[in-house]
């Protein structure tokens, strides 16, 4: 890594100041993703501003109405183990518990998890100057793309890496971002952006903006679950993941959310699968219909068409587990 | 490694040995060199050896007090860093180090003379600087200009007629009398076991014939401690702390490369963080980094520490070759083989030595007709290095998968088919032991017959290895001090196998002490010579010398004790810290008390290993049984249990022998299910040079590992020890693949067995 200055911020305002006065300065939360970037020189910041020193940013507050406010500095371990969240938003807790490994979850924050950069192996190595790094080709096209996307690809095909984001989109969460013009709130479903907009970015966080809170609305009456398929049991990324939520009445699904992870450059909400469920009962036939609908429009690359089958299996299994 | 010279004819002494397995003892005569001891055998009453002794250095390892090469640091030390080729093929036009040299803190710079680049990761230049950070910055400032050439990294593409040539035909490494065409060298003459009989006739006689092709990708050793050294000069005296499997190999390699005398080089390896075969070279198979570190240290006039990083470790320190293996087996209805034709192509990158025919040459010894053809295919990738039974895990995976396919075709029990063709009495015992331990009768009679999407199944496979030992040029020293303390010295290194503990057990056995009473001194080239740790030969090369030295010390001590006990030295024995008259153990004297009688301060006994003599078996047998669960909807495989039944002669320390077997099972399962070096097909560089996307088994993937040692009094040397480090990984890959088939009906012929391949194989099984 390059030599940089290390600064501890005492407040969000000071963090923003410390970043804006040094062009190229970066924020550090747990540092899991940032250190990988530093070590591989994907970023060479003049200054690293640590958010850990800001009081109160790791707080988890559950309101009586069932909604939850999560400080961005809460660790994945904390969110995964939080009794209120486990009860009110089980898919979110599961998504955090399934990520990475225990050591990483003890350090990684939920804010950093949502804002981490993709894991495409070309992006992660300095030597490949790909589109996401301002280069002019995508090496995954015609290259080693077994872990890449089957939805929403182009011109970059790197899957969005965050487990938590998948669950947050499913629950209709929103992010509070503090920038020059004060705080703004953005729905998780709008926050993540496709590479067609800008292949170098995965979301609409502006330079110097700090994520200060994650708001998750109450999910009373919903049944929800997160699940994933991975090659190894631990220390691994999902090949495909899902957060699904359904609200039923008298055995009939009234509302549904199906969000897929690891298959698109953003958490991939499958409106088709949701529509296929509404008005049906959550049985084998309903789950199968949703599974089929979920892969309509899938565009696998040369080496990853297996993900199409995995999506169907995962959609079917997860929905049936909610019956 | 010192050249093994043909041992001179020596006078011998004949011993009658009760050899083999306790269930079937065999009396045999061996002709040991005069002065050697009668080998421990089935009649020996051993008090320490074959027991379970926790590692003597265990507490240092778990408390962090054990210093690995990585941990060593000294005043004034500089940090070295290599610059490696960024392209897979071409010519280096220019190496500009001026900017690096100008960086403050840079003390020395080295550039390679080689101009032809054959793989991405080759040595180009190096720097030494006052801190790792400055060294890294300096390395990045070295500017290399290449004239890039076309390249080929894929095994099958390299075999094509129009493939870019990795070497001009006359430069291909390998014997000149072997046919060569394009990037392919072979067929090579069959190695051990060889070819026999007439396969054409055998296939004509067969009731059924199967032919299938199997493939295994390149696997990297991935030891936790990467390769590295610290080089320090004092005048013309060079000391090298090395993470190596061969301190004497490093000594000789540095002396030769630097043009200095071997006696002026001292190499130290106190603790070593894994090698698996990759650390047998003086530096590494694809890098001269250790020599470079010595040169940088000389140039800078300061010690230089040069540890490779994880990325480099994957690129240039060796790997297990990829392999593409076609196996044809003809069999009679009862499962006995009439012919086996084994044909393999493998790539060791820019190196030769990608053969995988060993298991075919050794297993199924009753098959009368065998033909083995092996080919090396050169590719623009880092050179391979020996990896735990080189070529054998790959070969056994292919061969033992094919045997299962024969059994399936004939509707026979796969274990019965193996029994029919088995020539080793040891493996016949192991079949029963292993089948019982796994519950072989629980396997699916029809593959994939289990209910539900998550299906369990059991499979097994065989493996083989050889008794390899260095019979000369190996020594040991045992010292007894006046205060009764005991230590031994062996220059050979403990690469994590528990070597130092095993040798202490041998000393303790002879002296009637506990292993914890013996201080080990290993891994220093100033001490008696030992072999490089390859071929599973360390224990069985060194233990006989240690025993001889300990025995000599014992007799010297007995001579001191004899007068007081009113007996002759030959009539004494030692146990539990006492020396006593063998015939009347009540007459005894404490070991310590006897030591106090010595006239000087120390009794030092030095011994040389005597020649290897007759063995009960020259091959090491093994078979493993795996139980897996296959999720037939996701293709995900979980290993539930592996039972490994292996033979290693006499295990000196049963506990660390079992550790070796458990480690091999882990590495083997990891190889079968995950490990895969991926080189970008368009650029030729590795996309997963880390331990995140180069996937090794994670802690949650750990299965129930059951190591079972088949104790064999094997003779060959005075301890009856053979080897274990390598043989126990040979069967694992095939056992897992066969279990996946038994569980699900999916025959996956390409490793690793990833979800996509399982799903594809299931779809194929449904079609047929
Ligand atoms: C082997 C391995 C396996 C993994 N497996 C998984 C997995 O299965 N699923 C998964 O989801 N993740 C996985 N991860 C990723 C890991 O969870 C993330 O790297 C981690 O959550 C990032 O959190 P952090 O706090 O360390 O972020 P940091 O590294 O500190 O920050 C990440 C990025 O976010 C920015 N940032 C952080 N906080 C803020 C904020 N409050 N406001 C503005 N910007 C901010 C930083 O500037 C940086 O760019 C894995 C990681 C590893 C190494
Ligand atoms: S998928 Fe995206 S990140 Fe990966 S190589 Fe292509 S452009 Fe780069």
CATH code for the domain of B672: 3.30.365.10
Interatomic CA distance for residues A317 and A226, integer angstroms: 11
Average pLDDT, chain B: 97
Tell me, in angstroms, the distance from the centre of ligand 2 to residue A268's CA: 18
Residue with CA closest to ligand 1 atom 36? A112
- Nearest-by-CA chain A residue for B756: A306
CB B635 to CB A306 under 8 A?
yes
Average pLDDT, chain A: 97
Angle between helices B755-767 and B732-744 (to 10 degrees): 50
Regarding the beta carbon of A80 and ligand 1, being less than 6 Å apart is answered: no
Distance from CA of A163 to the nearest CA of B (A): 17
On the question of a cis peptide bond just before residue A137, with omega within 30 degrees of 0, the verdict is no
Distance from CA of A300 to the nearest CA of B (A): 13
Is the pLDDT confidence value at B265 over 70?
Answer: yes
pLDDT band for B1, please (50, 70, 90 cuts): very low
Q: Which one of B608, B633, B659 terminates a domain?
A: B608
Interstrand relation of B265-268 and B304-307 (parallel, antiparallel or unpaired): unpaired
Is the pLDDT confidence value at A160 over 70?
Answer: yes
- Partner residue opposite B701 with nearest CB, options A1, A232, A310: A232
Is B93 touching A (CB cutoff 8 A)?
no
Residue with CA closest to ligand 1 atom 18? A113
Contacts of A264 (CB under 8 A, 6+ apart): A149, A150, A151, A152, A153, A159, A160
Ligand in nearest proximity to the CA of B694 = 1
Q: Are residues B475 and B453 in the same domain?
A: no
Chain A residues with CB-CB distance to B138 below 8 A: none
* Token pair recorded at residue A194: 């496709």
CB A143 to CB B699 under 8 A?
no
Q: Are residues B431 and B518 in the same domain?
A: no
Regarding the beta carbon of A70 and ligand 1, being less than 6 Å apart is answered: no
Is the pLDDT confidence value at B5 over 90?
Answer: no
Q: Are B586 and B549 in contact (CB under 8 A)?
A: no
- Partner residue opposite B698 with nearest CB, options A119, A144, A235: A235
* Closest by Cα among B712, B713, B698, B706 to B728: B706
Residue B47 in domain: no
pLDDT of residue A53: 97
Regarding the beta carbon of A171 and ligand 2, being less than 6 Å apart is answered: no
Is the pLDDT confidence value at B714 over 70?
Answer: yes
Interstrand relation of B704-710 and B304-307 (parallel, antiparallel or unpaired): unpaired
Q: Are residues B181 and B245 in the same domain?
A: no
The average pLDDT across B131-139 equals 97
Q: Which one of B549, B574, B608 terminates a domain?
A: B608
Is B130 touching A (CB cutoff 8 A)?
no
Q: Are residues B711 and B643 in the same domain?
A: yes
Regarding the beta carbon of A199 and ligand 1, being less than 6 Å apart is answered: no
Q: Are residues B210 and B238 in the same domain?
A: no
Q: Are residues B99 and B18 in the same domain?
A: no
Is B633 touching A (CB cutoff 8 A)?
yes
* pLDDT 10s digits, B295-328: 999 999 999 999 999 999 999 999 999 999 999 9
pLDDT of residue B170: 85
Residue B75 in domain: yes
- Nearest-by-CA chain B residue for A231: B636
Q: Please report, for residues B117, B427, B465, B700, B715, the alpha-carbon distance to residue B720 in angstroms, rounded to integers and kept in the order given.
A: 47, 18, 16, 38, 4
Residue with CA closest to ligand 1 atom 41? A211
Q: Are residues B233 and B303 in the same domain?
A: yes
Q: How many CB atoms lie within 10 A of CB A176?
A: 16
pLDDT of residue B559: 98
Regarding the beta carbon of A132 and ligand 2, being less than 6 Å apart is answered: yes
Structural domains in chain A, CATH included, are 1-54 (3.30.43.10), 223-321 (3.30.390.50)
First to last CA, chain B: 54
Chain A residues with CB-CB distance to B674 below 8 A: 231-232
Is B759 touching A (CB cutoff 8 A)?
yes
Residue B202 in domain: yes
CB A139 to CB B683 under 8 A?
yes
* pLDDT 10s digits, A236-295: 999 999 999 999 999 899 999 999 999 999 999 999 999 999 999 999 999 999 999 999
Chain A residues with CB-CB distance to B638 below 8 A: 233
pLDDT of residue A72: 98
Residue B53 in domain: no
Interatomic CA distance for residues A195 and B201, integer angstroms: 63
Is B674 touching A (CB cutoff 8 A)?
yes
Residue B342 in domain: yes
CB B701 to CB A234 under 8 A?
yes
Interatomic CA distance for residues B140 and B142, integer angstroms: 6
Regarding the beta carbon of A206 and ligand 1, being less than 6 Å apart is answered: no
Residue B668 in domain: yes
- Partner residue opposite A233 with nearest CB, options B693, B698, B754: B698
Q: Which one of B296, B316, B336 terminates a domain?
A: B316
pLDDT of residue B376: 97
Residue B719 in domain: yes
Residue with CA closest to ligand 1 atom 40? A211
pLDDT of residue B174: 86
Q: Are residues B627 and B738 in the same domain?
A: yes
* pLDDT 10s digits, A15-49: 999 999 999 999 999 999 999 999 999 999 999 99
> Can you give the C-alpha Rg of chain B in angstroms?
27
pLDDT of residue B7: 57
pLDDT of residue A54: 98
Domain interval for residue B664: 11-28+424-466+615-768
The average pLDDT across B651-668 equals 98
First to last CA, chain A: 50
Interatomic CA distance for residues B614 and A179, integer angstroms: 81
Tell me, in angstroms, the distance from the centre of ligand 2 to residue A304's CA: 15
Q: Are B80 and B306 in contact (CB under 8 A)?
A: yes
Regarding the beta carbon of A122 and ligand 2, being less than 6 Å apart is answered: yes
Is the pLDDT confidence value at B191 over 80?
Answer: no
Q: Are residues B345 and B310 in the same domain?
A: no
Residue B62 in domain: no
Q: Are B248 and B491 in contact (CB under 8 A)?
A: yes
Q: Are B305 and B79 in contact (CB under 8 A)?
A: yes
C-beta contacts of B756-762 below 8 A and 24+ residues apart: B756/A146, B756/A304, B756/A306, B756/B635, B757/B635, B758/B630, B758/B632, B758/B635, B758/B636, B758/B637, B759/A306, B759/A309, B759/B634, B759/B635, B760/A306, B762/B632, B762/B635
pLDDT band for B175, please (50, 70, 90 cuts): confident
Is the pLDDT confidence value at B8 over 70?
Answer: no
pLDDT of residue B3: 45
CB A232 to CB B635 under 8 A?
no
Q: Which of residues 14-73 of A touch B (CB under 8 A)?
A: none
Convert B520-557 to b/e letters by CB count within 10 Å (16 or more is b): bbbbbbebbbbbbbbbbbbbbbbbbbbbbbbbbbbebb
Q: Are residues B489 and B569 in the same domain?
A: yes
Secondary structure (3-state) at A203 = strand
Is the pLDDT confidence value at B2 over 50?
Answer: no
Regarding the beta carbon of A120 and ligand 2, being less than 6 Å apart is answered: yes
CB B755 to CB A317 under 8 A?
no
Interface test mutation site (partner A, options B148, B222, B634, max chain A beta carbons within 10 A): B634
Percent of chain B with pLDDT over 90: 96
CB B685 to CB A229 under 8 A?
no
* pLDDT 10s digits, B517-561: 999 999 999 999 999 999 999 999 999 999 999 999 999 999 999
Pocket test for ligand 1, best of A99, A123, A232, A239 (most atoms within 8 A of CB): A99
* Token pair recorded at residue B117: 């680049």
The average pLDDT across B69-76 equals 97
Q: Are residues B351 and B487 in the same domain?
A: no
Is A302 touching B (CB cutoff 8 A)?
no
Q: How many CB atoms lie within 10 A of CB B767?
A: 6
Backbone angles phi, psi at B59, to 5 degrees: -70, -30
Q: Are residues B213 and B246 in the same domain?
A: no
Map tokens 């996309």 to a residue.
B687
Regarding the beta carbon of A156 and ligand 2, being less than 6 Å apart is answered: yes
CB-based burial label for B5 (10 Å; 0-12, 13-18, 19+):
exposed
Q: What are the residue ranges of helices labelled H in B56-161?
A: 58-62, 98-102, 132-141, 155-158
Map tokens 């079992």 to a residue.
B658
Q: Based on the structure, what is the number of domains in chain B? A: 4
Ligand 2, closest atom to CA A158? 1
Q: Please report, for residues A323, B56, B532, the alpha-carbon distance to residue B491 in angstroms, rounded to integers and kept in the order given.
A: 67, 17, 10
């Amino acid at each position: 890594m390059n030599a940089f200055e290390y600064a501890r911020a005492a407040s969000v305002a000071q963090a923003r100041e410390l970043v804006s006065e040094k062009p190229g300065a970066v924020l550090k939360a747990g540092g899991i993703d940032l250190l990988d970037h530093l070590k591989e020189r994907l970023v060479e910041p003049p200054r690293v501003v640590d958010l850990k020193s800001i009081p109160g940013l790791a707080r988890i507050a559950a309101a009586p109405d069932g909604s939850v406010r999560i400080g961005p500095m809460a660790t994945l371990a904390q969110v995964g183990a939080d009794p209120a969240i486990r009860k009110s938003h089980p898919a979110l807790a599961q998504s955090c518990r399934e990520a990475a490994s225990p050591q990483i979850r003890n350090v990684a924050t939920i804010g950093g998890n949502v804002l981490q950069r993709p894991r495409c192996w070309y992006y992660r190595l300095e030597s490949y100057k790909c589109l996401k790094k301002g280069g002019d080709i995508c090496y995954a096209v015609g290259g080693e793309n077994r872990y890449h996307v089957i939805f929403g690809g182009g011109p970059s095909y790197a899957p969005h890496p965050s487990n938590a984001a998948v669950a947050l989109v499913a629950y209709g969460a929103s992010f509070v971002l503090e920038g020059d013009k004060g705080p703004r709130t953005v729905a998780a479903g709008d926050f993540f952006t496709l590479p067609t907009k800008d292949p170098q970015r995965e979301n609409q966080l502006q330079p110097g903006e700090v994520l200060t809170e994650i708001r998750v609305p109450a999910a009373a009456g919903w049944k929800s679950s997160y699940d994933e398929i991975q090659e190894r049991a631990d220390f691994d990324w999902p090949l495909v993941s899902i957060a699904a939520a359904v609200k039923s009445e008298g055995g009939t699904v009234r509302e549904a959310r199906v969000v897929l992870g690891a298959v698109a450059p953003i958490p991939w909400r499958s409106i088709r699968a949701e529509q296929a469920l509404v008005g049906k009962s959550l049985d084998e036939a309903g789950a199968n219909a949703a599974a089929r609908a979920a892969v309509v429009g899938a565009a696998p690359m040369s080496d990853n068409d297996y993900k199409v089958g995995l999506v169907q299996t995962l959609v079917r299994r997860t929905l049936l587990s909610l019956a | 490694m010192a050249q093994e010279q043909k041992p001179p004819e020596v006078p011998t002494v004949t011993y009658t040995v009760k050899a083999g397995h306790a269930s079937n003892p065999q009396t045999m005569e061996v002709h040991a060199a005069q002065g050697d001891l009668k080998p421990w055998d089935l009649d020996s009453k051993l008090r320490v050896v074959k027991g379970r002794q926790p590692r003597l250095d265990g507490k240092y390892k778990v408390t962090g007090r054990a210093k690995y090469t990585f941990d060593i640091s000294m005043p004034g030390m500089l940090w070295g860093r290599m610059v490696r080729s960024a392209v897979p093929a071409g010519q280096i036009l220019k190496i500009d180090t001026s900017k690096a040299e100008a960086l403050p803190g840079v003390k020395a710079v080295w550039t390679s003379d080689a101009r032809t680049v054959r793989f991405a990761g080759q040595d180009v230049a190096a720097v030494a600087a006052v801190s790792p950070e400055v060294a890294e910055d300096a390395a990045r400032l070295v500017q290399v200009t290449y004239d890039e050439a076309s390249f080929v990294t894929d095994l099958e593409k390299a075999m094509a007629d129009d493939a870019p040539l990795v070497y001009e035909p006359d430069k291909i490494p390998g014997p000149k009398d072997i046919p060569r065409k394009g990037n392919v060298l072979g067929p090579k003459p069959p190695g051990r076991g060889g070819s026999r009989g007439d396969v054409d006739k055998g296939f004509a006689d067969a009731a059924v014939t199967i032919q299938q092709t199997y493939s295994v990708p390149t696997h990297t050793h991935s030891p936790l401690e990467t390769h590295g050294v610290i080089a320090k000069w004092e005048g013309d005296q060079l000391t090298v702390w090395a993470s190596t499997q061969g301190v004497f190999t490093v000594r000789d390699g540095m002396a030769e490369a630097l043009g200095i005398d071997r006696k002026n080089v001292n190499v130290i390896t106190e603790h070593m963080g894994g090698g698996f075969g990759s650390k047998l070279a003086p530096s590494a198979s694809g890098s001269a980094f250790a020599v470079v570190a010595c040169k940088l240290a000389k140039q800078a006039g300061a010690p230089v520490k040069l540890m490779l990083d994880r990325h480099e470790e994957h690129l240039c320190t060796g790997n297990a070759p990829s392999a593409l293996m076609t196996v044809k087996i003809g069999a009679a209805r009862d499962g006995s083989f009439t012919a086996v034709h084994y044909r393999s192509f493998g790539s060791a990158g820019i190196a030769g030595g990608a053969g995988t025919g060993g298991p075919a040459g050794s297993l199924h010894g009753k098959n009368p007709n065998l033909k083995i053809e092996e080919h090396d295919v050169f590719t623009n990738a880092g050179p391979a290095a020996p990896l735990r039974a080189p070529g054998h895990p790959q070969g056994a995976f292919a061969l033992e998968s094919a045997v299962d396919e024969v059994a399936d075709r004939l509707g026979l029990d796969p274990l019965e088919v193996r029994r029919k063709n088995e020539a080793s009495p040891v493996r016949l015992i192991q079949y029963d032991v292993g089948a019982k331990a796994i519950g072989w009768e629980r396997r699916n009679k029809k593959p994939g017959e289990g209910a539900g999407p998550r299906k369990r199944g059991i499979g097994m496979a065989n493996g083989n290895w050889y008794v390899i030992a260095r019979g000369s040029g190996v020594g040991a020293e045992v010292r007894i001090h006046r205060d009764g303390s005991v230590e031994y010295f062996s220059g050979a290194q403990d690469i994590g196998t528990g070597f130092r503990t095993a040798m202490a057990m041998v000393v303790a056995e002879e002296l009637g002490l506990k292993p914890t009473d013996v201080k080990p001194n290993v891994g220093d080239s100033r001490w008696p010579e030992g072999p490089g740790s390859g071929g599973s030969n360390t224990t069985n090369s060194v233990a006989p010398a240690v025993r001889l030295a300990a025995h000599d010390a014992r007799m010297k001590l007995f001579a001191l004790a004899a007068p007081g006990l009113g007996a002759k030295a030959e009539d004494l024995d030692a146990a539990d810290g006492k020396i006593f008259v063998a015939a009347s153990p009540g007459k005894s004297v404490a070991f310590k008390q006897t030591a106090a009688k010595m006239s000087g301060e120390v009794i030092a006994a030095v011994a040389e290993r005597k020649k290897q003599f007759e063995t009960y078996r020259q091959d090491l047998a093994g078979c493993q049984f795996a139980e897996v669960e296959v999720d037939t909807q996701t293709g995900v495989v979980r290993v539930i249990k592996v039972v490994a039944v292996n033979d290693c002669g006499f295990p000196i320390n049963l506990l660390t022998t079992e550790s070796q077997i458990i480690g091999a099972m882990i590495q083997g399962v990891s190889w079968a299910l995950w490990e895969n070096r991926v080189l970008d097909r368009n650029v030729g560089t590795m996309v997963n040079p880390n331990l995140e996307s180069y996937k090794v088994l994670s802690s949650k993937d750990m299965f129930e590992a059951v190591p079972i040692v088949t104790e064999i009094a094997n003779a060959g040397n005075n301890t009856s020890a053979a080897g274990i480090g390598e043989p126990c990984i040979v069967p694992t890959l095939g056992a897992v693949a066969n279990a996946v088939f038994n569980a699900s009906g999916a025959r996956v012929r390409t490793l690793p067995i990833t979800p996509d391949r399982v799903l594809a194989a299931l779809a194929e099984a449904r079609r047929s």
